[in-house]
Amino acid sequence: MSFLGALREVIALGGPVIAILLVISVLTLGVTFYKIWQFAASGVGRHRMLSEALSAWDAGDRPSAHASLAKSNSYLAPLVRSAMNAQGQPGLDERLDAEAGVALAGLERGFRFLDTVAQIAPLLGLFGTVLGMIEAFQTLQAAGSSVDPSLLAGGIWVALLTTAAGLAVAMPTSMVLAWFESRTARERVFADKALRTVMVPEQGHSAAVSTHA
């Protein structure tokens, strides 16, 4: 049997709920691949050159900091460059925080959809199971006194098929979402540290302490 033939048979057994779950799973797969591409293209988790630039800036080596920053492919590089070039401007902290929030919000786009799928897929599966059980008992009732146990058993396993399909969609979606969220949380911490390093470098802070002393 071909894949499409097997797919049609499963949809015929599970009814419209299986079809809906199939569409949701395809959309979820598309969003997942898009987020993986987006994270890779944005350089999420790959901040080696940016970290070198921040270390040089922290040490007071401005030329090396700018040179390393120019080699960085991180999505945070333009934001850090703006912070380096706009030292002393009033309200700079708030503006940079807002721009960092916008950049991170772009990374989080699609999370709401994945979260919704992880929550609604099991409910859809359960809904399909309830409908299937109703149909199975209706068949059992229509059989009257000539009840064949195989009728009930067959109806029950077909009904449970939708629950299995719902869980099969929800569990990997939940795992993928947790992975994306953990990566984004680390990015948020790194972005905050990067901006604070540029705004208050260790070398400048040490000089200020020495002056006041």
- At residue 46, the pLDDT reads 83
Cα separation, 184 vs 114, whole angstroms: 15
- The pTM of this model reads 0.77
Q: Compute the half-sphere exposure of residue 110: CA atoms within 13 Å on the CB side of its CA.
A: 22
What does the pLDDT profile of the chain (213 residues) look like in tens digits?
Answer: 565 666 566 666 667 888 889 899 999 999 999 999 999 888 888 888 888 888 888 888 888 888 888 888 888 888 888 888 877 677 777 888 888 888 888 889 999 999 999 999 999 988 888 887 887 777 777 766 666 666 666 667 777 888 888 999 999 999 999 999 999 999 999 888 888 888 877 654 444 334 334
Cα separation, 108 vs 30, whole angstroms: 15
